[in-house]
């Protein structure tokens, strides 16, 4: 009996993907190329492969913090004994997920894992959930980010509403972001949880509305999805608004309700530790834990991670008895060992000098990054590119307050938009010792300035990749498959 063309394609897909990956790596190609080829050859590969997993798929999306939160969840679950598949490079389009699957499936397309923990770009998450219904989802926040890709902020919320509607088991939402909290209205998840902030910490984590007190007119999903197609990529079809979902009405309804009970509340922040209130009502209890991730924003992301991990533990009780017996103390201990994701507070040693990479990509993220670190304890460099992955519009730099750098100054400014960045710093009276548009030359000079003194580089995404690649020529840098 001969195999059908579709069955034959399924059997050929793993071999094809592995061959493309091998050729791409020999030629220095990107990590997403095998995914692009496999998606064209076998469009059902991703959905078919992920559907095998006994604990299903856990998705993380939102404007800020996706990569670090995904890493905290995945590594903590691994530390607790689960086999976890994830997309560790931050390649958060569907083809990036497929590329990450290719080297891990066997010749029959089988994936040896209990659960998938995946970071998805806000726009591509819409197309992911058409193929795979996540069992769990964590939606972190919506900020004005890359307006050339997403349109206005309410459009980003509409994109994430598709994820909320598709989630089957547990949906974890940011209580402090009114647009994210409002997504509970359209969700069909059987369990909705919130993570939040103690009242005294809310001023340290400004929402987009607080950053932009004078709200602009929102852009609808239909306007943002222009005649050229999807707002994110002209090769994708337009995304319609979720059926029966009106973001403004949902936001108004959420704002009118009493404060939502948070499953996990961040209630204390310290340089290398955090305090969380875990549980609701009379069962709530405060816990303290050390954390290796840096930045106060990542402490809030940790609250989201703890909440969804608690949900996974509860669901796995019948099939994984050891996991079911996990205490909150053990969960936090497992979380405390997780190191930063590449380029997100990652420290790279160059001849005895620690060089810290801090990714920045919008006003809120940059503000929180500056607030997380003392300018006095390190030499500072800022590298700004405006490639597609960074967003072409760099006007958001004018919404960032750089006065915390005034006393120490900035030792180096680099990247495609280095002169724009230097001008912006000048308006905040921040001294700039040197402007060097060439990232390679700038890094060479910067890392050898004041040997032994901590170096901190605030950088946009493509600048971070280029800096990391060049540092790999100067010292040993962990290969993450980028």
Query: Which has the higher per-residue pLDDT, 9 or 304?
Result: 304
The answer to whether 230 touches 236, Cβ cutoff 8 Å, is yes
Q: What is the pLDDT of residues 47-63, one digit of tens each?
A: 999 999 999 999 999 98
Both 381 and 438 in one domain: the answer is: yes
CATH of the domain at 74: 3.40.1190.10
The answer to which of 118-122, 225-229, 272-276, 467-471 has the lowest mean pLDDT is: 225-229
Q: Does the structure show a pLDDT above 70 at 394? A: yes
Q: Does the structure show a pLDDT above 80 at 352? A: yes
Determine the longest span between alpha carbons in the chain, in angstroms.
78
* Share above pLDDT 70 across residues of the chain, in percent, rounded to a whole number: 83
Both 262 and 370 in one domain: the answer is: no
The residue written with tokens 């990247």 in the block is 415
User: pLDDT at position 476, please?
Assistant: 77
The answer to which of 34-38, 117-121, 358-362, 430-434 has the lowest mean pLDDT is: 34-38
Q: How many domains does the chain fold into? A: 2
Query: Which has the higher per-residue pLDDT, 459 or 388?
Result: 459
Q: Chain-wide mean pLDDT for the chain?
A: 83
Q: What is the pLDDT of residues 150-161, one digit of tens each?
A: 457 888 899 999
pLDDT band, very low/low/confident/very high, at 338 (cuts 50, 70, 90): very high
Q: For the residues 447-453, what does the mean pLDDT come to?
A: 92
User: pLDDT at position 240, please?
Assistant: 40
Both 348 and 239 in one domain: the answer is: no
User: pLDDT at position 373, please?
Assistant: 86
Nearest Cα to Cα of residue 255 among 333, 184, 329: 184
Question: Domain for residue 103, yes or no?
Answer: yes
> What letters, b where the CB count within 10 A reaches 16 and e where it falls short, cover 108-128?
ebeeebbbbbbbbbbbbbbbb
Q: Which of 336, 355, 375 is the last residue of a domain?
A: 336
- For residue 97, give every residue at least 6 positions away whose Cβ sits within 8 Å of its Cβ, in sequence order, or none: 35, 46, 87, 91, 118, 120, 128
Question: Domain for residue 361, yes or no?
Answer: yes
DSSP state of 242: P
pLDDT band, very low/low/confident/very high, at 230 (cuts 50, 70, 90): very low
Both 348 and 332 in one domain: the answer is: no
> What letters, b where the CB count within 10 A reaches 16 and e where it falls short, cover 353-367?
bebbbbbbbbbbbbb
Rounded to a whole number of angstroms, the distance between the first and last alpha carbons of the chain is: 43
Both 352 and 448 in one domain: the answer is: yes
pTM (2 decimals)?
A: 0.79
DSSP state of 315: H
Query: Which has the higher per-residue pLDDT, 250 or 437?
Result: 437
Q: Does the structure show a pLDDT above 60 at 165? A: yes
Q: Which of 287, 320, 336 is the last residue of a domain?
A: 336
Both 231 and 361 in one domain: the answer is: no
Q: For the residues 297-309, what does the mean pLDDT come to?
A: 95
In sequence order, what are the beta bridge partners of 195? 174, 264
Q: For the residues 316-326, what does the mean pLDDT come to?
A: 81
User: pLDDT at position 195, please?
Assistant: 97
Q: How far is CA 209 from CA 144, 213, 370, in A?
A: 10, 6, 19
User: pLDDT at position 242, please?
Assistant: 45
Q: Does the structure show a pLDDT above 90 at 436? A: yes
User: pLDDT at position 58, please?
Assistant: 98
Question: Domain for residue 482, yes or no?
Answer: no
Q: What is the pLDDT of residues 280-289, one digit of tens each?
A: 888 899 999 9
Both 332 and 354 in one domain: the answer is: no
User: pLDDT at position 221, please?
Assistant: 33
Q: For the residues 229-248, what does the mean pLDDT come to?
A: 40
Both 95 and 130 in one domain: the answer is: yes
Helix (DSSP H) and strand (DSSP E) numbers for the chain: 19, 15
User: pLDDT at position 413, please?
Assistant: 97
Question: Domain for residue 371, yes or no?
Answer: yes
Q: Does the structure show a pLDDT above 70 at 217? A: no
Both 321 and 439 in one domain: the answer is: no
For residue 26, the enclosing domain spans: 5-336
């Amino acid at each position: 009996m001969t195999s059908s063309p579709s069955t034959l394609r399924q059997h050929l897909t793993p071999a094809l993907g592995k061959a493309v990956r091998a050729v791409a790596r020999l030629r220095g190609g990107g990590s997403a190329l095998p995914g692009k080829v496999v998606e064209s050859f076998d469009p059902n590969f991703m959905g078919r492969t992920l559907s095998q997993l006994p604990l299903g798929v856990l998705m993380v999306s939102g404007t800020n913090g996706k990569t670090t939160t995904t890493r905290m969840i995945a590594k903590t679950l691994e530390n607790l004994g689960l086999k976890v598949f994830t997309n560790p490079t931050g390649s958060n389009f569907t083809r990036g997920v497929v590329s990450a699957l290719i080297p891990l499936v066997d010749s029959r397309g089988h994936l040896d894992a209990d659960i998938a923990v995946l970071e998805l770009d806000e726009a591509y998450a819409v197309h992911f959930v058409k193929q795979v219904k996540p069992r769990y989802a964590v939606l972190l926040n919506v900020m004005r980010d890359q307006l050339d890709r997403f349109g206005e902020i309410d459009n980003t919320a509409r994109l994430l509403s598709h994820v909320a509607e598709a989630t089957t088991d547990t949906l974890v939402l940011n209580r402090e972001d009114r647009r994210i909290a409002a997504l509970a209205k359209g969700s069909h998840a059987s369990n909705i949880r919130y993570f939040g902030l103690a009242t005294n910490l809310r001023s340290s984590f400004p929402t987009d509305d607080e950053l932009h007190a004078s709200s602009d007119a929102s852009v609808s999903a239909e306007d943002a999805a222009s005649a050229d197609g999807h707002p994110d990529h002209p090769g994708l079809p337009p995304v319609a608004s979720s059926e029966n979902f009106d973001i403004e009405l949902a936001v108004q309804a959420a704002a009118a309700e009493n404060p939502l009970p948070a499953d996990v509340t961040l209630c204390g922040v310290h340089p290398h530790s955090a305090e969380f209130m875990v549980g609701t009502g009379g069962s709530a209890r405060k816990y303290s834990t050390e954390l290796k991730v840096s930045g106060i924003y990542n402490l809030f992301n940790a609250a989201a991670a703890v909440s969804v991990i608690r949900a996974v533990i509860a669901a796995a009780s019948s099939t994984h008895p050891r996991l079911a017996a996990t205490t909150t103390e053990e969960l936090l201990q497992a979380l405390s060992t997780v190191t930063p994701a590449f380029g997100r507070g990652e420290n790279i040693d160059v001849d005895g000098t620690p060089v810290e990479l801090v990714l920045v990509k919008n006003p809120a993220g940059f503000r929180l990054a500056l607030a997380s670190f003392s300018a006095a304890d390190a030499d500072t460099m800022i590298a700004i590119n405006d490639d597609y992955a960074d967003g072409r519009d760099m006007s958001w730099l004018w919404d960032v307050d750089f006065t915390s750098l005034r006393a120490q100054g900035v030792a180096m400014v680099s990247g495609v938009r280095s002169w724009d960045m230097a001008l912006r710093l000048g308006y905040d009276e921040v001294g700039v010792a040197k402007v060097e548009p060439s990232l390679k030359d700038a890094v060479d000079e910067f890392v050898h300035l004041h040997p032994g003194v901590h170096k901190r580089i605030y950088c946009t995404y493509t600048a971070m990749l280029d800096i990391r690649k060049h540092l790999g020529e100067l010292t040993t840098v962990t290969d993450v498959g980028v």
